[in-house]
Structure 1
Amino acid sequence: MAVNPVIETRGLTLQVRDAAVVGDISVRFQAGELVMLVGPNGAGKSTLLRMLAGQQQPSRGGLLFAGRSSRSMRRDEWARHITYVPQLSALSFPLSVEEVVSLGGMAHGRSVVALRQQVQEALRLWEIDYLARRDVRLLSGGEQQRCQLARSWVQVQQEGSALWLLDEPLSALDLRHQQQCMARVRELTAAGKTVVMVVHDLNLARRHADRVVLMGCGRVVADGAATEVLTARQVADTFRLDIELDGDYLRWR
């Protein structure tokens, strides 16, 4: 039996003046899969995530959630289904780490006791419990990233939340916490959630992604299994690099 897509884009286009930042994107994201978006800078990866999150409206095309058009849904209703962590999400307000993480459950009407338990679990899982009382503005870049990931982890755990959108979530993390983030992602996909994340590490995508969407110049170049999409020839053509495949490892020459 075919699995219905959690979210689907049909001809999604964002036109800015005479140029298409993203042009004619039609992709499906299925329940329980990890999809990684890869491509050169300016390929449209972050723009696509913002449109999926409802943060940016397309010029043309549409979005469907479980077969229902986004145009028929209120913005707050769409937001309850989709959790989004942008590339730059540092806060300028004097909030503690625990308060920021708590924001992840505010829109879902959880009881105070249930939310507090989930927040404490998130602080522990993302290893920021020792920072709980710290002003978020005083954290390092990696600590701020883990704080935002913990907040969004609380949100995506809520009933009805189905899609976790992550824009370069590993960029500020050390190796230990990158591994930790990927473990949390796999736990969520195993529970039936869908995760779409932007990454620049193509070898990480080859190892971990269920599917890879390769983008270039605002369009989908290829969409499929990582080993089929991230071939030496296709990566070389898209990134304009001299590259070879050494076993399962892409190597720049």
Structure 2
Amino acid sequence: MSVLDYILAVTRSSTSDKVILVSNYTQTLDLFERLCTARKYLYVRLDGSMSIKKRAKVVERFNNPSSPEFIFMLSSKAGGCGLNLIGANRLIMFDPDWNPANDEQAMARVWRDGQKKTCFVYRLVSTGTIEEKVLQRQTHKKALSSCVVDKETDVERHFTRGELRDLFVLNEETTSDTHDKFRCRRCVNGIQVRAPPTEADCTSALSQWQHSAERRHLPDTALRAAWDAGISFVFHQRSHETRALV
């Protein structure tokens, strides 16, 4: 939440950009509301309790460049698919979903036809926790793809007993458990010394993204400002139209 607070503050003070906050949980949206109230940010919220008719009006209002709302809070289950939210060009995924398709749908809300600004997509992950293990399974093993069909009713068959136990082990001795598992040959003592392949883009595996264990080489001013709030490692990559950060 501290990192989120810094990103929002820098975005608000130094740009005219709007932000979409996405979470899988309505309780987390409640926390977003408390933060926005404390910081006096104008916002709108869309979750499963909002009618279809009202959703269309809220989206149309937010996409209007003259609307005063700075933040659009979105429940990924209620609005992750089909919404065109080009009024914002920064999107923050606050927590990962076991189903990678849900995250991909949600992250595509700002990068749509009609978008004229550079898009920034952030994924916040608490390193060493179950969140990071969920991300690892999304990006590397792809084992959860069959859970889309199974509706997550038989997750256990994708993991050994040891892997299931490991999901709940907290690793407090790492700056990035994901980067550790890569055994990255492009980095020395956590510092990238060799650039990723020239053909790499935002659809490539995280092992082929830019790796940063310090703020100095981060291209995004919001992340540089938020570093001391609790950032330990950043994977970042730029495509021809968007800059995505994890």
Same fold by TM-score greater than 0.5? no
TM-score scaled by structure 1? 0.29
With a CA cutoff of 8 Å and minimum separation of 6, indicate the structure with the bigger relative contact order.
1
Give the alignment's TM-score, normalised by structure 2.
0.30
